[in-house]
Structure 1
């Protein structure tokens, strides 16, 4: 299943969940009407012989109860939705997780960060925030609404009990939930079911109120009716919760199978995810979490996380079934109870020979392999189709390439991306242009506006930044985003003001500079969740500007760029005008603000058109790949880099290559 199909399926599933919830609420209204009619009958001194069923059919009583139930469920769901609006970090903190220190020297924590970073870069998305749950059970989860507010949580038991391949399998499983739209669906499900749970909480409040002596003395015998109503509402609330759990379990079980299969597809290593499931099967604590909110978020977890009274309400398939899905020839044997492992840190560099052996052991799927080897061996259309097919589908080759690229980057820059002051200096250095006059003006602006400690870091990073090679800037930006999101409000405001000042002072801003600048800002601020209902035919102006910019970045002269845009105009059926003058950053921001509102079904054709622009000359250079990946991410389409591996001819400073795409 490709990325766009998976996202569409998740959206349709959300609609089905709403329908099921509406049916559950109707059932609750009927049951609550009966309970209220019975309570009213008892309050008026009647008996059961007074036919409470007829009273329950009274339009006024039925309408009042329906209004009350809908109001309670609606308000409860809305409140929970607003609480979860900030993204995955809210879920992680509710479960007792703490943000993992990005400068940690703990070998196991460092290994977890390395695995998450490699998987994120291979997927073409910024590195998510990583949380550690100090729980000895083996479990993990991914939560968030969009790609820019994702949080991944992993327990202490998981990083201590699993080896690197097994941990990578678990992380790949969670990335499948991110890329298939499951995490957004899961948070919506949490909010919807919370409203049903509130009915039970109301019943509990009534029970407490009716049990108070002063209440009983004021109401006389009426407290019996209130007590009965409270008990009935509690029963209804828990019955509704049971229905919700059945819905949650039915949805979650199938998506767990899909995530396991995707983990194998991403890593080409069934022993990774399969081994993790086997270790989980023999672990003394299993996957059960001690967090008080574990039940509410149980469908987010890698393992079940909570005990289930019945298979009908189990959010996860049996471990044996999951293992047999990924290892069909499994003989049923399990490993011994794991001892605490010591992890090894990520090597400073991975040789090309080592990366090649990794790719040979786990060859990429056909679509991604064609995307990576596009250029002269494939036609423009085939290359674009392969690139679109690779969206949201990282392969073992992508993971190996991400690991190699991180190993080739100067270790000082890797460390800088994990430190608050140095990360800001790193971003400043990458986004400063190649023109000497511009760089001087930009440096002077930073001296007057940036914090002194950041300026010190910028000076110390000048040499390694000057040695950056094409293809290395985007990974550094992705690595830096988690620490940039943790800046205080004052620090973030000053940092973003400095970024805007740098772009304003650039005499020859390149398309790649603009795209990286936009990626950082969107990664920190989050995506505006505007309604996505526009079509390509409605956006010919923004489309012309973006495709003209990409075409010029991918061609040697304007005639080739013009030919690419004219051809795409015919293919898309949208009248496009080639924009000859290099676009300003503000103009490109204007275009993107409109293109992000494209309907989901229109994004695949747009991405294909973007790919055709940069591959029109039969090859995709590293700078073009960075540009394409950065723009694709801002459109919500995580794209594994379609660039060929770096070689010695790709040299050049960050500033020089940064403006080659102008």
Structure 2
């Protein structure tokens, strides 16, 4: 099942979710009205029941208040989770791991996340560690794959080998790439709403218990304290209707996806003993504490559908289990019964300790190692008059380099024509240096006058960083052009550490650097599109579906397909490729689409087109990507691959394998 089919299934499941939610609300409203009616009768004396009438609007008021709690609670929780993965990770008690962390276990985790993100062609997710959780568990969260976070327990870091940790991260990347995260985050809000009555009932019982129980002789019926306690008990019991439906919904949505994620983890790592070993250790730890994936955080029930394994012992098996049994998952992975493994804590791995200073090891732990310098070294002849700064090592402020005292290693898992310099990798992990790296990627020496304007912009806006920008620009000029976007992917976690004001400043300076020559090139447009998608104030927010198909956006579709054809071919052949692409998919009803010559392409209009195309239904998006691939011919140039990657980033869609394969190298991480 590919990403878009999975998204379509998620939308179908959303309808199922909505149906179960409405059913739960109706059941709760009926139960609340029935319970309050009985309590009212009892409080007034059962002897008067024959002639008793309820106050005007009694049932309407009960219904309105109940709906206010449920719907209001759902909307409140969804608003609280508007920032997606970071909000969820913090709910689970996660601590953000700094991209340049020197803790050996954290470095190993960051390395694995980086290597998988770069292989998948998506922004590197932010990483959280749940320090208080000693069991083995993990989850991925977020609304979009380029805005995801990955969180693991401390037990996952200390009890799993590198291969097993790779398997766990591969499992979570399946949820990222298959689009499971959006449904999971929405489910949190829905469950919060329908389970609020149980929480209210619990509070009423506590308040009633603290009240005085005495009353005067003239009072009839039960005391206020008893009424409050009974009402609390009733609401708590009724609230379990919400919990019942919540677990039913979670079990319906979650279990099959775990099988898919396990299989995908094997595909990503090419090692069944990775995720298999992790699951075997969860099973082994379960023999000791009844739940090897137990989460102690109070929000564990609410988040249980997101985790790698069952968060609570009572969710291990049965109709309402959020995850398939470990034995069943292992049977599917290995095709046979396998023994469970001891899950004791492991000593830090020596190779990972050596890799603390730089980038990550590759998928094969035992692959060849190559030494890389730990800090940026600058030639003594690197004086740049156009910058007006001496870039000798002693004069450049490189806070990120000062932390890197341990030599680094690199593992190469496939032949590469070029690699990202280790100094660039270092810079990508520090927020200030990552910002300088972005500016360095946007500098262009091809036009001396425009280049001078760019330098003046930097001197005015960020004088203290100019020397570092100069140094990094010198390095990026020698780097393969196909590495520009992977470098940006690698720098994303560090850039997300910038404050909102700093991020806006970066985007503003980037826009000024691009506008220096009064012309927007495609390479500049691509970088700016990806930056905007990841750092703007709306980054990570959910986007509503507005358009059912490309037939509703023929002009926008034509513009993107025309740009793709013009990127790969000259004018005459580009128009032919455009028409060939449209003719290959007549079912899209794009007869009104017309070729747009490159000379008439306005990148502001391209941006507006992408904003609309982002609101397409999930199953409509792959048709646009297929049209662009059809228009590109058999082989993709670096410019064509970059354009498609930026379009995928704008659409929150995965990068096609043919695009990933077109890059000549991956970082030697």
The answer, yes or no, to whether TM exceeds 0.5 is yes
Query: What is the DSSP-based 3-state SS (H/G/I as helix, E as strand, rest coil) of the residue aligned with 1:500?
Result: helix
1:631 deviates by 1.4
1:84 deviates by 1.0
Counterpart of 2:371 in structure 1 is none
Query: What is the DSSP-based 3-state SS (H/G/I as helix, E as strand, rest coil) of the residue aligned with 1:166?
Result: helix
Q: Is the 8 A contact 2:171 2:262 kept in 1?
A: yes
Cα separation, 2, equivalents of 1:643 and 1:482: 21
Of residues 313, 331, 353 in structure 2, which corresponds to 1:324? 331
Counterpart of 1:567 in structure 2 is 580
- Deviation per CA, 1:396-418: give whole Å up to 9, x if none: xxxx9997769821000001110
Runs of 5+ consecutive residues of structure 1 not aligned to the other structure: 359-399, 651-662
- Deviation per CA, 1:359-407: give whole Å up to 9, x if none: xxxxxxxxxxxxxxxxxxxxxxxxxxxxxxxxxxxxxxxxx99977698
User: Within the alignment, does 1:204 sit opposite 2:202 as a pair?
Assistant: yes
Correspondence 1:8-87 to 2 at 5 A: 8-46=8-46, 50=49, 60-87=57-84
Counterpart of 1:102 in structure 2 is 99
Query: What is the DSSP-based 3-state SS (H/G/I as helix, E as strand, rest coil) of the residue aligned with 1:178?
Result: helix
Counterpart of 1:128 in structure 2 is 125
Q: Is the 8 A contact 1:626 1:641 kept in 2?
A: no
User: Within the alignment, does 1:468 sit opposite 2:479 as a pair?
Assistant: yes
Q: Is the 8 A contact 1:515 1:627 kept in 2?
A: yes
Q: Is the 8 A contact 2:106 2:157 kept in 1?
A: yes
Q: Which moved more, 1:539-548 or 1:131-140?
A: 539-548
Q: Which moved more, 1:218-227 or 1:136-145?
A: 218-227
Cα separation, 2, equivalents of 1:401 and 1:506: 39
Q: Is the 8 A contact 1:176 1:262 kept in 2?
A: yes
Query: What is the DSSP-based 3-state SS (H/G/I as helix, E as strand, rest coil) of the residue aligned with 1:612?
Result: helix
Counterpart of 1:368 in structure 2 is none
User: Within the alignment, does 1:236 sit opposite 2:254 as a pair?
Assistant: no
Cα separation, 1, equivalents of 2:253 and 2:465: 48
Of residues 410, 430, 434 in structure 2, which corresponds to 1:423? 434
User: Within the alignment, does 1:119 sit opposite 2:116 as a pair?
Assistant: yes
Q: Is the 8 A contact 1:162 1:341 kept in 2?
A: no
Query: What is the DSSP-based 3-state SS (H/G/I as helix, E as strand, rest coil) of the residue aligned with 1:125?
Result: coil
Correspondence 1:78-477 to 2 at 5 A: 78-134=75-131, 135-213=133-211, 217=215, 221-223=222-224, 224-283=226-285, 286-308=292-314, 311-330=318-337, 332-343=338-349, 344-345=351-352, 408-433=419-444, 434-449=446-461, 451-477=462-488
Alpha-carbon RMSD? 3.1
Query: What is the DSSP-based 3-state SS (H/G/I as helix, E as strand, rest coil) of the residue aligned with 2:635?
Result: coil
Cα separation, 1, equivalents of 2:189 and 2:126: 22
1:534 deviates by 4.8
Q: Is the 8 A contact 1:431 1:517 kept in 2?
A: no
- Cα separation, partners in 2 of 1:41 and 1:431, compared to 1, 3 Å: same
- Cα separation, partners in 2 of 1:262 and 1:608, compared to 1, 3 Å: same
1:178 deviates by 1.6
Cα separation, 2, equivalents of 1:89 and 1:352: 27
Cα separation, 2, equivalents of 1:506 and 1:89: 38
- Cα separation, partners in 2 of 1:173 and 1:350, compared to 1, 3 Å: closer
Of residues 550, 565, 574 in structure 1, which corresponds to 2:564? 550
- Cα separation, partners in 2 of 1:45 and 1:209, compared to 1, 3 Å: farther
TM-score (norm 1): 0.84
Q: Is the 8 A contact 1:124 1:641 kept in 2?
A: no
- Cα separation, partners in 2 of 1:404 and 1:436, compared to 1, 3 Å: farther
1:522 deviates by 0.8
Q: Is the 8 A contact 2:283 2:341 kept in 1?
A: no
Q: What is the number of residues matched between the two proteins?
A: 600
- Deviation per CA, 1:612-655: give whole Å up to 9, x if none: 222x2x3112332222122122111111462556669x9xxxxx
- Cα separation, partners in 2 of 1:452 and 1:131, compared to 1, 3 Å: farther
Cα separation, 2, equivalents of 1:550 and 1:646: 17
TM-score (norm 2): 0.83
Q: Is the 8 A contact 2:581 2:628 kept in 1?
A: no
Query: What is the DSSP-based 3-state SS (H/G/I as helix, E as strand, rest coil) of the residue aligned with 2:348?
Result: coil
- Cα separation, partners in 2 of 1:228 and 1:115, compared to 1, 3 Å: same
